[in-house]
Amino acid sequence: MSNPRTSILKLRRRTFLAGAAASLVLAGRSFADAPVRGGTVVALAHPGEPNVLTSAVVQTGQVQSVSSKIFDGLITFGDNFEIKPELATKWTTSEDGKELRFDLRPGVRWHDGTPFTSADVKFTFESVWMKIHPRARATFAAVDVVETPDPLTVVFKLRNPSGVILGALNGLESTILPKHLYENTDIQTNPYNIKPVGTGPFRFKEWVRGDRIVLERNPDYWDAGKPYLDQVIYRVIPDATARYAAFESGAVQYGTLTPISLSDLGLAQKSDTLDVDFHGYEWLASAIVADFNVRRPPFNDVRVRRAVAHAIDLKAFVRVTTRGLAKPGTSPVLSTQTKFYAGEGLPEYTFDRAVADQLLDEAGYPKKPDGTRFATTIDWLPFGETFQRFAEFARQAFKAVGIEATIRNQDLPQFFRRVYSENDFDFTISHRAGLGDPQIGIDRVIWSKAILKDIPWSNGSGYSSPEMDKLIEAAHVAPNEDKRVELYKQIQVLAQRDIPTFTLAENKQFTVSSKKLRGLGTGSISVYDSLKDAWLEA
Amino acid sequence: MTTDSERDELPTDISIRVPNIVLRIFRSWRKFPLSLHIGLLILLFQLAVALLANTLYPQDPFELVGMPFMAPGEDPLFPLGTDILGRDIAAGVVHGSRVSLLVGFAATLIATIVGTTIGLVSGYFGGWVDHALMRLTELFQVIPHFLFAIILVSIMGADLSNIILAIGLTSWSMVARLARAETLALRELDFVKISVVMGGGHLRAILTHVLPNALPPVIVSASILTALAVLTEAGLAFFGMSDSNHVSWGSMIGASRDALLTAPYMTLIPGAAIVVAVMGFSLIGDGLGQILRRGHRI
Amino acid sequence: MTIEPVLRVRNLAIAVPGDRHPVDAVCGVDLDVAKGETLAIVGESGCGKSLTALALAGLLPDGVRISGGTVEILGHDVAGKSEHAWRALRGDRISMIFQDPMSALNPVLTIGDQIVEAIRAHRPIGKREVFSEGVELLHRVKLQTPHEYMAAYPHQLSGGMRQRVLIAMAIANRPDILIADEPTTALDATVQADILSLLDELKRETGMALVLITHDLSLVSRWADRIMVMYAGKAVEARKAKSLLGEASHPYTRALLAARPQRRPDTGQRPRLAEIRGRVPSPQEKGDGCSFANRCDFVMSRCRAISPQAVHVSDGRVWCHAVDEQQARHSGALA
Amino acid sequence: MGARIAQMVPTLFLLLLAAFTLLHLAPGDAAQVLAGESGGGDTTYLANLRSRFGLDQPIYVQFMLYARNVLSGDLGFSFRNNMNVVDLIGARLLPTLLLTGSAMAVAVAFGMTAGALAAAHAGKWQDRLISGIALLIYATPGFLLGIGLMILFGVTLPWLPIGGFVASQGIDSGFEYALSVAKHLVLPVVTLGALYAAIYTRFTRGAMLEIYVQDHVRTARAKGLAASRIILRHVMRNASLPLITVIGLQAGSLLSGAILVETVFAWPGLGRLAFEAVQQRDYNLLAGLVLTTGTLVVLINLCVDLLYAVLDPRVTLR
């Protein structure tokens, strides 16, 4: 096992140095930690090629990765979800919490030279977010009207105070489009979706389908002197082994969203030329979850659900299936969302097969002579092989307590159809993004009003509890943030008690980059860093 | 020439010709081409392994029995090492032989039955039936088979029977063409015509006269199809289309291929099993083909 | 024999692959063919006559080889010669034409190409010359409009025409020996005579020796000077044509002559020699005795035990115990 | 000739119908996939997407509309990719043709040479060796071969790029571009070509052995021709005819092989696009791809027929 590793490593170093020397055109001498202007970074388009290049239209990870270099948001996140200015230099909330006012940065121009104004924000809010965004109608439910008293001021008038709006106005969740290019057009088929015009540090140059997306330095960027890099090129590498080989050989220097397989992570961490970074995923943080179909037996019985929770050894689960990377789950709210996470006081499900057996007996599923209790199915989210492994682990755990599970393999469209349209499943292994705020991330899976036919990531379990609904609806109109946090802690406890969705583990994603690539962002959302501070070491 | 003289002899009694071939094959085991010997040996070995799987490894091959990522030889308990989840690779390979062979045989059976039926009917009846069936055959020939299989598995879901069905349904066109060509040649022979005139009916004529004679080349192509089916199963697994409820060599590769750099043995061991199996079936096909050609010459 | 033969074969044996080890499919064959002479080798299918013919031209198939005896062409033994040495002889000193003219020409090359390469394989001459020589050859084998034939492909020609082309190729380098293996079997009856008379004419013109392999005794009667009858890989009777046809000694020859079929009036084709009961034994089946014993009407106990030796008769030799006995009695009576 | 083309029309129509129907039978739709990948959505969002994708129309209406567009040369719009299908396929066609064409050329060159060598030494060690290697390559799953080559030549011995179509940077001239494409082409072509080289080796060997024993080769030998001339002019030339037929028959399977190779080597071709289209239920794109690949196969077969007619004087095109 160690032989191939060392041999590859030794060779790789030489390769990378040679490649870097040949390919990097450096302007001027480099100093230890002073940013150097120039150079091209080849980044990985992952988990696949984007279909458009603006996250105003499509919000997949691969779109957001590229879009974040081209588009700024009104605000952005620093560490610990600290909100920082971007296109807005300043924001103020009125006393009653019903007015949110933004001062826009002066002198910002779109990549085509047109000035960026409050009209662009208002237009995008009305014609894009509220029309075609998957979540904006829920997020901005409290917004009554957006006003633009002058070109550099935007005012959100609210029906009631809402804690979720400000953070959602980051450039990924709420991407602003240029009004002059989108007004009176079909937003979704607008040609600028694939040759975007933004205000960000990099502007679109070319897109060779299936091969590369080339972004070049925006010389008129408002943050003078930035960015440092001349070009960012996104390449698509579908095969996992090939992706690692690309990092090894220096062909690719930057990849986010777990760009290499977990098996290769160890190689990357030991590498002399690669950095692995787990930060910047706080906003995106996701959990590996098991959803029960509570509409029908056997999982309509909470005892059966709890039995399953006791039957799966989460410590072994994360050790074996994620190579110890993930953390056993304790709550639907991720522990990284420190503000909302309930911590102590949450019902715990320790790994104990005896308890599981007992619960199953009580629920009326005794062991039959052949040692089985009942048969069920496991559907797993086809987001790569890891989820299949989760399912295979779960099946063996089920088997140990007498539950015979058949794993159903299907592709993504079939999975969505089965779980969210037909609700024809028993148990799924899936994932759930935290999306920064439980109101966006968690409500949708435990609120009865989120039982929506056809909608992926909605309340597929069919869990409906008046007690839960009351808590959720109270949180939506909480007069202040403390009250909202308190309510979400109660929600977690209840969710964990009823356990319609069982959080198996807190997933950990990571970024792989060349050690030569410096100045990468560090904020809670830096997985989608704009690279404006990034530079290449000589 | 010799073939003429053989044809001349056909009308007397055709139905005993096939048993004759079978007899001849068994009688002349020693005269088999080397390739057939090796191929059959490989196949027999694999069949034996498949049959003995439960005896050799009575435990569920999916059971997480050890530490993940143990290299072959690291622990005498797991001579071929353990996989990403800590499953015994040796047990997987042994149990996997069942499913891989099953996929190979079953998909081939489907392709052969569909292909032969279409080929026979098309060649025997001719006219618009032939025309329509040949357009259909062309359709299946024109779509890239693997893409077609991917589409079918996507639609039906990746469980074992669907994978078999998809492979079978996308690979029959070659058989249909072969069977049709043989049938066209046979149809014109007197004994087939006589059989129909004598009131035997078309079905009877097809089954008793045409089918047995069209069969030998179909059997040769079947062994090639089996080899291809095993490879296709692995290819589908590479794209994540395998059934997690049945361990097969393809599914083992699918499960381990992202660890190829760290633990190449996880992929290479089932890969080697596939290579050996495919070589076995190809050798059998080669050997049978040689016998068939030789049979025509003697 | 007054003239030194151009082809002289002694005790030729040819081995073919058997079940366990090679077996001799032909053995003990002696031949002498002189310049300008026509020798016919006659026998049923499988008697070894074609193998003998192929051996004379060094064209035995893979796995089949000369296992004994000598083959002298123009006084040089070539039996064990390398393929390279054979190549220089073939098409030059010794030529051969085959049974099926339909398949003996390469279907994707023009007649001209194939004739020209036959000439150039042995004589490096210029393009124009070689072409006109090709035309001349086609003319000699009596193909009208030879220029057109030069550009034609084999499939555009009838069987008889193709055989003429093959003959043209065979005589391109004025060989000393021409071996014709069943040259007319695959052709229409009317064409058969034309081809044979063409061969006879060419033989007279060039003085080459002609070895005619056939199963058809009636053909032989007209064209051959001498005849050798083969059975199961051995010569059974070898005599001048006239005496063989007149007073055949071997029971097999007599049976062949008796079975000599009449042409079917409708098609003009001759049926095969189906009238002799039984079949030719395969090389493996041969025992110690006379190979013909099983089918012979005059079989004696000795026939099954001992292989007969050559008996000299008028104008040739016969291999038969019965003839031997007869002769012995006859000579005994004389003494 | 015209008749043959006319004969292909119903096949292509069936092809179109089959692709369209099969995909619509598939559970799940493009809108839902996009919604899922975008992290969720609400009912309005999904309804919007569906009506945009035309998924709210009855299936036969969708097909009629589609068929009409195809006849006018319009393969529709890929909503998933925000691009016309024709443009999308057009951009990926060249790389695929380059890959499959080069692979085919390499396979034919290697296969015929190796097959001829094996046939010339039939039964000897050269034959055993060549046939053995061919069998081994044939039996190796293409992706294993590809990844193996990539690790060896792209990582361990960093001689060749590990994937992609052309270098990301440092391309200043047309020549450098061509050179870079050629370098990137090597491994995919070897991977894809190896399988077919193995097949053609086996086939050429068989065909040559069969032709060796034919009468006209004996005639050639009887003429006293040199061995090399016999092999090249009388055996190889004739053996190339059935080989051409086989090459034509395998045009479809070559495109299949391209799916795997393009995935391993990140080659921006049609195969990968097709796989993605299936996964995303991009009906218009997939139907367009099936139609394109099908037409390609038909065209290749037509070319093969033409070539056959040129090489074999017995064949005339009807």
Domain presence at residue A49: no
- Residue A16: how many CB atoms within 10 A of its CB? 24
- pLDDT tens readout for residues B49-64: 999 988 888 888 888 8
pLDDT confidence of residue B278 = 94
Cα separation, D93 vs D273, whole angstroms: 10
* Distance of residue A44 Cα from the nearest chain B Cα, in angstroms: 17
Task: Note whether C107 contacts D313, CB cutoff 8 Å.
Answer: yes
Classify each residue of C54-80 as buried b or exposed e, where b means 16 or more C-beta atoms within 10 Å of its C-beta: bbbbbbbeeebbbbebbbbbbeeebbe
> Average pLDDT of chain B?
83
User: Do residues A239 and A381 share a domain?
Assistant: no
Rg (CA), chain C: 21
Distance, CA of D146 to CA of D260 (rounded, Å): 9
Does residue A244 belong to any structural domain of this protein?
Answer: yes
- Nearest to residue C212, comparing CAs of C241, C189, C188, C233? C241
3-state secondary structure (DSSP) of residue A99: strand
User: What is the distance between the alpha carbons of residues D150 and D152, in angstroms, rounded to a whole number?
Assistant: 5
Across the interface, do C57 and D213 touch by the CB < 8 Å criterion? no
Q: What is the Cβ-side half-sphere exposure of residue A206, based on CA atoms within 13 angstroms?
A: 5
3-class secondary structure, A378: strand
- Report pLDDT for A354: 95
Q: Please write down the HEC assignment for all residues of A399-420.
A: HHCCEEEEEECCCHHHHHHHHH
Banded pLDDT at A26 (limits 50, 70, 90)? very low
Summarize pLDDT for B205-257 with one digit per residue, the tens: 777 777 877 788 888 889 889 999 999 999 998 888 888 899 999 889 888 88
Structure tokens at D151: 């690790």
**pLDDT tens digits along A28-42:** 334 457 888 989 999
Shared domain for A290 and A250, answered yes or no, is: no
Phi, psi of C167 (to 5 degrees): -65, -40
Residue predicted with more confidence, C190 or A191: A191
B159 to A408: CB separation less than 8 angstroms, yes or no: yes
- Candidates D35, D48, D263; nearest CB to A455: D35
User: Of B50-54, B203-207, C325-329, D23-27, where does mean pLDDT reach its minimum?
Assistant: D23-27
Structure token digits, residue C246: 């007149």
CB contact D144 to B (< 8 Å): yes
* E strand or H helix that includes residue D128: helix D125-139
Share of chain A above pLDDT 70, in %: 94
Q: Which of D139, A528, A525 is nearest to B282 (CA)?
A: D139
In a domain, C84, yes or no: no
Instruction: Enumerate neighbours of C (3 or more CB pairs within 8 A).
Output: D
The total domain count for chain C is 2
| CB pair distance less than 8 Å for D165 and A209 | no
Task: State residue B41's pLDDT score.
Answer: 92
- Residue from D99, D156, D280, D285 to probe the interface with A (highest A Cβ count within 10 Å): D156
Q: Is C201 a residue whose pLDDT tops 70?
A: yes
Lowest mean pLDDT among B125-129, B294-298, D245-249: B294-298
Q: Indicate if the pLDDT at residue A295 is higher than 70.
A: yes
Q: Which chains touch D (3 or more CB pairs under 8 A)?
A: A, B, C
Helices (H) and strands (E) in chain C, counts: 12, 12
Structural domains counted in chain A: 3
Q: Are residues A502 and A522 in the same domain?
A: no
| CA distances from residue A89 to A84, A92, A121, D234 in whole angstroms, order as listed | 9, 11, 14, 84
Q: Which of chain B's residues have a Cβ under 8 Å away from the Cβ of A240? A: 257-258
Structure tokens that stand for A191 in this block:
């040609």
Q: Which residues of B touch D (CB under 8 A)?
A: 135-136, 138-139, 141-147, 150-152, 154-155, 174, 227, 231, 234-235, 238-239, 253, 257, 260-261, 267-268, 271, 274-279, 282-283, 286, 289, 293
Among residues A174, A232, A172, A176, the alpha carbon closest in space to that of A207 is found at A232
The residue among A480 and A400 whose pLDDT is bigger is A400
Provide the pLDDT confidence category of residue D191 given band limits of 50, 70 and 90. Answer: very high
Pairing mode of beta strands A374-380, A427-433: parallel
Interface check for D48 against chain A (CB to CB < 8 A): the answer is yes
Task: Label residues A163-188 b or e (16+ Cβ within 10 Å = b).
Answer: bbbbbbbbbbbbbbbbbebbeeeebb
Checking DSSP bridges between strand C65-73 and strand C7-16, what pairing results, if any? antiparallel
Report pLDDT digits (tens) over D238-256: 888 888 888 887 878 888 8
From B140's Cα to the closest Cα of chain A, the distance in A is 24
**Chain B interface test: which of D22, D144, D278 (most B C-beta within 10 Å):** D144
The number of CA neighbours under 13 Å toward the Cβ of A384 is 18
Q: D–A contact (≥3 CB pairs within 8 Å)?
A: yes
Q: Is residue A5 within 8 angstroms of chain B, CB to CB?
A: yes
d(CA C68, CA C29) in angstroms, rounded, equals: 10
Give the best residue of A59, A192, A239, A381 to mutate against chain D (max D CB count within 10 A). A239
pLDDT at A494: 95
Considering only A69-83, A286-300, A408-422, C73-87, which range has the smallest mean pLDDT?
A: C73-87
Are residues A344 and A414 both part of a single domain? yes
What's the mean pLDDT in D114-121?
A: 90
CA–CA dist B70, A1 (Å, integer) = 8
Residues A418 and A310 in one domain: yes
Q: Across the interface, which of B159, B257, B263 has its CB nearest the CB of A409?
A: B159
Q: Lowest-confidence range among A15-19, B32-36, B193-197, B273-277?
A: A15-19
Same domain for A153 and A141? yes
Closest partner CB to B71 (pick from A1, A264, A410): A1
Q: Containing H/E element for C7?
A: strand C7-16
The residues, ordered by sequence, that sit 6+ positions from A351 with a Cβ below 8 Å of its Cβ are A310, A311, A312, A313, A314, A315, A316
Residue pairs between chains B and D whose CB atoms are closer than 8 Å = 120
> Residue-wise over B21-31: b if at least 16 C-beta within 10 A, else e?
beeeeeeeeee
CA distance D191 to A239: 15
Contacts of D49 in chain A (CB under 8 A): 188
Identify which has the larger pLDDT, D77 or B277. Answer: B277
The rounded distance, in Å, linking the Cα atoms of D38 and A188 is 14
C contact test, residue of D219, D240, D311 with most C CBs within 10 A = D219
To the nearest whole Å, the CA of D19 is away from the closest chain B CA by 9
> In the structure, what pLDDT confidence band is assigned to residue B27 with cuts at 50, 70 and 90?
low
pLDDT (tens digit per residue) in D167-180: 877 777 888 889 99
C142 in a structural domain: yes
**pLDDT for res B20:** 59
Average pLDDT (B249-273) is 89
Question: Does A290 share its domain with A276?
Answer: no
Q: What is the pLDDT of residue B196?
A: 66
Contacts of A66 (CB under 8 A, 6+ apart): A45, A50, A53, A213, A215, A234
Token pair for B82:
């353990």
Q: Do D313 and C153 touch (CB under 8 A)?
A: yes
- Burial (CB count <10 Å: 0-12, 13-18, 19+), residue B6: middle
DSSP D159-222: TS-SSSSS-SS---SHHHHHHHHHHHHHHHHHHHHHHHHHHHHHHHHHHHHHHHTSHHHHHHHH
Domain termination residue (choose one: C147, C174, C201): C174
Could you tell me which residues of chain B have a Cβ less than 8 Å from any Cβ in chain A?
60, 62-64, 68-69, 71, 84-86, 154, 157-159, 240-245, 254-255, 257-264
Last residue of a domain, one of C132, C156, C174: C174
Chain C residue with minimum CA distance to D223 = C91
Confidence of residue C276 (pLDDT cuts 50, 70, 90): low
Handedness of CA A506, A507, A513, A519 (dihedral sign): negative
| Contact list, B293 vs chain D (CB under 8 Å) | 210
| Domain-terminating residue out of C144, C159, C174 | C174
Judging contact as 3 or more Cβ pairs under 8 Å, the answer for A and C is: no
**Candidates D22, D144, D252; nearest CB to B155:** D22
Task: Please indicate, yes or no, whether residues A356 and A438 belong to a single structural domain of this protein.
Answer: yes
- CATH number of the domain at A97, please: 3.90.76.10
Name the pLDDT band for D23 (thresholds 50, 70, 90). low
In this structure, are residues A164 and A139 in contact, taking their beta carbons and an 8 Å threshold?
yes
Chain D interface disruption, residue of B2, B128, B140, B151, most D CBs within 10 A: B151
Asked whether at least 3 C-beta pairs link D and C within 8 Å, the reply is yes
Residue C270 has pLDDT above 70, yes or no: no
Residue type, C200: D
Q: Given strand A153-158, what is the order of strands in its sheet? A: A88-93, A99-104, A153-158, A143-150
CATH number of the domain encompassing residue A522: 3.40.190.10
**Which band of pLDDT confidence, cut at 50, 70 and 90, is reported for residue A27?**
very low
C-alpha C48/C-alpha C14 separation (Å) is: 9
Which residues span the domain enclosing A237?
A: 230-281+509-536
Q: C63: which 2 tokens?
A: 């796995």
pLDDT at A309: 95
The residue to which tokens 């359709």 are assigned: B139
Assigned domain for C256 exists: yes
DSSP string, A405-463: EEEE---HHHHHIIIIIS---SEEEEEEE-TTSHHHHTHHHH-GGG--TT-TTS-TT--
ipTM: 0.81
Average pLDDT in the D254-273 region?
A: 89
Q: How far is CA C256 from CA C183, C229, C231, C296, in A?
A: 20, 10, 11, 12
Assess whether A304 and A377 both reside in one domain.
Answer: yes
The predicted pLDDT at position D2 comes to: 65
Q: Does A428 touch chain B (CB under 8 A)?
A: no
The rounded distance, in Å, linking the Cα atoms of C141 and C165 is 7
SS3 for B89? helix
Same domain, A267 and A399: no
How far apart CA B65 and CA A174 sit, in angstroms, is 48
- Provide the token pair at B216: 């030998």
Residues D18, B143: C-beta atoms closer than 8 Å = yes
Q: Please tell me which of the candidates A8, A385, A392 has its beta carbon nearest to residue B258.
A: A385
* DSSP element (H, E) containing B27: helix B17-27
What integer is the mean pLDDT of A441-461?
A: 88
Using CA atoms, how far apart are residues A68 and A87, in angstroms rounded to an integer?
13
Q: What is the mean pLDDT of residues C140-160?
A: 88
What are chain A's partners, defined as 3 or more CB pairs within 8 angstroms?
A: B, D
Helices (H) and strands (E) in chain A, counts: 18, 21
**DSSP string covering A461-518, please?**
T----HHHHHHHHHHHT-SSHHHHHHHHHHHHHHHHHH-SEEEEEE----EEEETTEE
Residue B296 has pLDDT above 80, yes or no: no
Name the closest residue on chain D to residue C106, using Cα atoms: D216
Whether B189 shows a pLDDT value over 80: the answer reads no
From chain B, the residues in CB contact with D260 under 8 A are 146, 235, 238
Domain that holds residue C293: 248-261+274-331
Tell me what the mean pLDDT of segment A260-275 comes to.
Answer: 91
Q: CA A124, CA C234: separation in Å to the nearest integer?
A: 103
Q: What b/e string do you get for D133-149 counting C-beta neighbours within 10 Å, with b at 16 or more?
A: bbbebbbbbbbbbbbbb
Q: Would you say residue A85 lies in a domain?
A: yes
What DSSP assignment string belongs to C129-197?
HHHHHHHHHHHHTT-SSHHHHHH--GGGS-HHHHHHHHHHHHTTT--SEEEEESTTTTS-HHHHHHHHH
Separation CA B255–CA B85 (nearest Å) = 9
Architecture of domain B34-52+88-292: Orthogonal Bundle (1.10)
CB atoms A8 and B69 under 8 Å: no
Other residues' Cβ atoms within 10 Å of the Cβ of residue D31: 26
Q: Do B261 and D140 touch (CB under 8 A)?
A: no
- Is the Cβ–Cβ distance between D196 and D182 less than 8 Å? no
A522 with A452, same domain? no
A261:B84 CB<8 A: no
- Has residue B4 got a pLDDT over 60? no
Mean pLDDT is lowest, of A398-407, A491-500, C146-155, C302-311, for: C302-311
| A53-109 pLDDT per residue, tens | 999 988 888 899 999 999 999 999 888 888 999 999 999 999 888 999 999 999 999
> D-side interface with C, Cβ within 8 Å?
122, 213-216, 218-227, 229, 233-234, 237-238, 241, 311-314
Percent of chain B clearing pLDDT 70 (strictly above): 84
Instruction: For residue A460, give the CATH number of its domain.
Output: 3.10.105.10
Per-residue confidence (pLDDT) for residue B5, from 0 to 100: 36
Q: Do D41 and A193 touch (CB under 8 A)?
A: no
pLDDT of D21 higher than 90:
no
A295 and A430 inside one domain: yes
The amino acid sitting at C214 is T
Q: Tell me what the mean pLDDT of segment B174-195 comes to.
A: 79
